[in-house]
Amino acid sequence: MEKVGIIGSGLMGTGIAFVVARQIEGETVVVDVDEKILEKSRRTVEGLAARAVEKGQATQEEAGKWLKRLNHTTDRSDLKGAAFIIEAVPEDLALKCRLFTELSEICAQETILASNTSGLPITQIAAGARHPERVIGTHFFNPAPVMKLVEIVRGYATSETTIQKTRGFCSRLGKESILVEKDYPGFITTRIGNGYLAEALRCLEEGVGSAGDIDKGCRLAYNYPMGPFELMDLVGLDTVLRVFESLHQVYGERFRPSPLLRQMVSAGRLGRKSGSGFYNYAKKEKGA
Ligand SMILES: NC(=O)c1ccc[n+]([C@@H]2O[C@H](COP(=O)([O-])OP(=O)(O)OC[C@H]3O[C@@H](n4cnc5c(N)ncnc54)[C@H](O)[C@@H]3O)[C@@H](O)[C@H]2O)c1
């Protein structure tokens, strides 16, 4: 029986935990710093399992098995013995570096330590780990139970064995993967995606169109499932801002964080998770 660990049970950690518990027989250990966050995460996973039953994707018995595999805990030492650990804490390089150093003290030499960072350098995250050859990027997409792709990122020291094992693990999760050969910030998808988001923010700030019309335009013109402002609200504007800040440090002007985005984060308008962002979710009405 394989043990898998998820550290950080926010938006991404919760979705990834559901996918792991659904696909991998064994224990899924979910670690966070706060009992209340863990409780919310557990309820979300229960909701996802119930929806899978309603949609006829699983029987009640199967969904029950998924939930039994989950162990929500604030005790990081419960990760001991895990074959694979996926980190999904906030997009903060210092925090992730610290965590990887601590994780490599708890875990066996064979454990693969993966980061779900949207674009921070895996090589830097791995620098303090005891076995950097076992550190890798696994960038899942939101919502993790639905989105097919995992972007796998090779750090400078990541071994070929770690890459092959990670590819195998992702396919057992039912995911498609691509390999980012060079550990450049933003990898492939975040670098391209944030270029698009930056231009959408500039259009809004310059008054070229409303958020609603820019979103509708992008959805219909490019056949995207959602427009840039709907996407940022889903991701969380705090996370979007942090990603812009890290890309700006490396690539310069083209990723300078938009003043509007900064203001919205300062005002606590973080998107869906806070009830309002570019759109207002509490009242279920749209309008920037
Ligand atoms: N939001 C998205 O759409 C998205 C998509 C892809 C990747 N990501 C990346 O995934 C990571 C997590 O993003 P998120 O949106 O889930 O963030 P989030 O803020 O929703 O969740 C982060 C969780 O980590 C917990 N945490 C903080 N410090 C911790 C610690 N020391 N130990 C254990 N838990 C800790 C927090 O309590 C919180 O529950 C980030 O690196 C982000 O860039 C996010």
CATH code (residue 72): 3.40.50.720
- The reply to whether 19 and 153 lie within a common domain is yes
Closest ligand 1 atom to residue 34 Cα is 37
Confidence band for 282, pLDDT divided at 50, 70 and 90: confident
Place of tokens 């427009």: 227
Neighbours of 176 (CB within 10 A): 10
- Pairing of β 149-153 and β 135-140: antiparallel
How far is Cα 249 from Cα 254, in angstroms, rounded to an integer? Answer: 10
pLDDT value at 288 more than 50: no
99 in any annotated domain: yes
Tens digit of pLDDT for each residue in 90-126? Answer: 999 999 999 999 999 999 999 999 999 999 999 999 9
Of 6, 7, 11, 265, which is best to mutate to test ligand 1, by the most ligand atoms within 8 angstroms of its C-beta? Answer: 11
pLDDT given at position 283: 62
Q: Is 33 in the pocket of ligand 1 (CB under 6 A)?
A: yes
Q: Is 115 in the pocket of ligand 1 (CB under 6 A)?
A: no
How does DSSP assign 4-50, residue by residue? EEEE--SHHHHHHHHHHHHH-SEEEEEE-S-HHHHHHHHHHHHHHHH
Can you give the pTM of this predicted structure? Answer: 0.94
Could you give the number of structural domains in the chain? 2
How far is Cα 176 from Cα 161, in angstroms, rounded to an integer? Answer: 18
From 180, 212, 236, the end of a domain falls on 180
